Amino acid sequence: MPFATARTLSLHGAVGHVVDVQTDVSPGQVGLTLVGRPDVSLNEARDRCRMAIVNSRLQWPATRRITVLLSPADLVKRGTHFDLAIAVSVLAAAAELPASSLEGTVFIGELTLDGGLRSVPGVLPMVLAAAARGVGRVFVPEPQAQEAAMVPGMEVIGMRSLAQVVAELRGEEVPEAPPVAPMSGSRLLAWRGSERREELDMSDLFGLEDTRYAVEVAAAGGHHLMLSGPKGSGKTSIAERIPGILPDLTAEESLELTAIHSLAGALEPGDGLLVRPPWSAPHHDASKASLLGGGNNAVRPGELSRAHAGVLFLDEFPLFRSDVIEALRQPLESGEVTVARRDESVTLPARGMVVLACNPCPCGNYTSTPQTNRCQCRDPQRRAYRHKITGPVADRVDILRHVVAEDRAGRNDRFDHRDSSAEIRVRVETARRRQALRYAGCSWRLNAHAPVPVLRERWPLTPEAEECVDATTWRGELTQRGAARVLRLAWTVADLAGLDRPGLPEAQMALALRRGSPLAVQALPRRAG
């Protein structure tokens, strides 16, 4: 009985599953039956594959019954990237291809009616999943060969058409074919606005010494940060400069982030691995699906996941919709986003820094000093505004900092030394190297992600520091979640200071960062060079 199996992959979030495309060609009612929980776009593959084979001058088994099983059958299959695997399995079952040529290979690509290949999103996470399961060769659309080749040890064959794939599998000379069409929804215009951030430097800012140190601690340990203060105080300015003090991504982070952007369809042909931490600043009118991930068909990563290992800046945070604010609870706590639906649950990584910025009132002019207070908001308006930035979400933010604009005398101080982004980046990178050595072999990389029970058992604070944190907690000034964040912050302060273990000064500094208390410049810990 004519039978053949080709292999492709099904993506559920950033996790890929190998799918066996099993095809049987036998006598019976003429037609093609596709089983194995395909979605609508995958059901349409029956017509795409038939016309692609016919128009490629290959033999379609027109007088036979064709049954295609996508195994495992209980897994929901979505997307058009199954086309190439279905087509080659049909040809192999019809004896147009040697079935042995499909072994050890996965096929990824959408087919056009004339037999051409089109690019598809998610090639990198699919190839990563294939490599993890021992697959050594992959066929992909030609523009995405470089993306697939990012996976070490994988033999990548980029093709333009079904006819080229068949010729390669037969061992024949590969014919010419038109270039592969770009992926639908790809960027058509080069946006150069992101280059402005490369020209922003911490030395541009006047004063804000305690806020600078708070930002440095946040960057070193990957901690979430909330900046509050009247409008014009410098919240957005300092947040925009955070990517400049972050070191380059590690090889593991770079591969993870590139896979997420591939899944989102944000990689262009020729793009290599992403090596710099990403920056995302969505508008406060953004929907929950765009921020956390979702979509009508396959779940696509949201801005939170696309900022993985980088910075997500939510300016005017209280103006975001209430459902968006409440939905941030899980990712702020766990570093993951789980999108649950009726028949599937998808988990996406989201271990980036979340920086929140807010005004003290809707008009942004409120100050606690009567002489400078120009606020026109009513008390109920201020209470409603502040209510959106308190409670469970604020409790999941590690560092709180009230930003006050520098006065005229400070701006005119010619002898004021302001560290540049490059100088701060060296200290942040040194602190992160200490964390990498300490957490070698663990599933986390930074202090902000370390489980507190493990920290207390394997890397405890000094007894004096522990007593300070415990006393503050029992007085009701800290929640248990807040105490956990103080413990992580104390380790980051110690890492920046080059200390082997946090003591009482580091615990006190962590408490001040957590509670938003003023930081005396002379009390800042010494910093590692």
- Asked if domains 3-170 and 224-397 share a fold, the reply is no
Residue for token digits 């024949």?
172
Mean pLDDT of 51-68: 92
- The end-to-end CA distance of the chain, in Å, is 72
**What pLDDT, in 10s, does the model give residues 255-267?**
989 989 888 877 7
**What pLDDT, in 10s, does the model give residues 239-256?**
999 999 999 999 899 998
Distance, CA of 366 to CA of 360 (rounded, Å): 6
Q: Which residue has the higher pLDDT, 215 or 528?
A: 215
Give me the residues paired with residue 499 across strands: none
Contact 397, 357 (CB under 8 A): no
Q: What is the pLDDT of residue 372?
A: 65
pLDDT at 308 over 90: yes
- Quick one: pLDDT band at residue 233, thresholds 50, 70, 90? confident
The candidate with the shortest Cα–Cα distance to 448, out of 331, 369, 353, is 353
Contact 339, 293 (CB under 8 A): yes
pTM of the model: 0.84
* Cα-Cα-Cα-Cα dihedral sign, residues 501, 507, 512, 513: positive
pLDDT at 269 over 80: no
User: Can you spell out the DSSP letters for 194-221?
Assistant: THHHHT--GGGS-S-HHHHHHHHHHHHH
Distance, CA of 479 to CA of 257 (rounded, Å): 33
Q: Tell whether domain 3-170 is in CATH 3.30.230.10.
A: yes
Distance, CA of 491 to CA of 471 (rounded, Å): 19
The long-range contacts involving 188-195, CB below 8 angstroms and separated by at least 24 positions, are 194/279
Contact 484, 452 (CB under 8 A): yes
Contact 39, 72 (CB under 8 A): no
Contact 7, 106 (CB under 8 A): yes
CA dihedral of 195, 197, 202, 208, whole degrees rounded to 10? 160
Distance, CA of 294 to CA of 431 (rounded, Å): 35
- Per DSSP, the chain holds a count of helices (H) and strands (E) of 23, 18
Ranges of each domain in the chain:
3-170, 224-397
- Highest-scoring range by mean pLDDT, 196-205, 409-418, 461-470: 461-470
Q: What is the mean pLDDT of the chain?
A: 87
The packing angle between helices 209-221 and 421-438, to 10°, is 40
- Residues 397, 402, 405, CA angle at the centre, nearest 5°? 145
- Highest-scoring range by mean pLDDT, 83-87, 233-237, 268-272, 367-371: 83-87
The residues, any chain, with a CB within 8 Å of residue 435's CB and separated by 6 or more, are 221, 445, 446, 447, 491, 495
- Looking at 1.20.120.160, 1.20.120.550, 3.30.428.10, 3.40.50.300, the CATH number of the domain 224-397 comes to 3.40.50.300
Distance, CA of 23 to CA of 69 (rounded, Å): 6
Q: What are the backbone dihedrals phi and psi of residue 440, each rounded to the nearest 5 degrees, phi first? A: -60, 130
Kind plus residue range of the DSSP H or E element containing 292: helix 288-292
Distance, CA of 71 to CA of 188 (rounded, Å): 37
Q: What is the pLDDT of residue 193?
A: 41
311-314 β-sheet, strand order:
279-280, 311-314, 353-358, 225-228, 399-402
User: Can you spell out the DSSP letters for 226-282?
Assistant: EEE-STTSSHHHHHHTHHHHSPPPPHHHHHHHHHHHHHTT-PPTT-----S--EE--
**What pLDDT, in 10s, does the model give residues 157-212?**
999 999 999 999 999 999 999 888 666 544 433 444 444 566 788 988 887 888 99
Q: Which two tokens stand for residue 288?
A: 């929950």
Q: Which two tokens stand for residue 310?
A: 């980088």
Q: Alpha helix (H) ranges present in 56-122?
A: 83-93
pLDDT at 441 over 80: yes
Mean pLDDT of 48-68: 92
Distance, CA of 313 to CA of 303 (rounded, Å): 10
Q: Which residue has the higher pLDDT, 40 or 154?
A: 154
Q: What is the pLDDT of residue 414?
A: 52
Distance, CA of 491 to CA of 217 (rounded, Å): 10
Contact 315, 286 (CB under 8 A): no
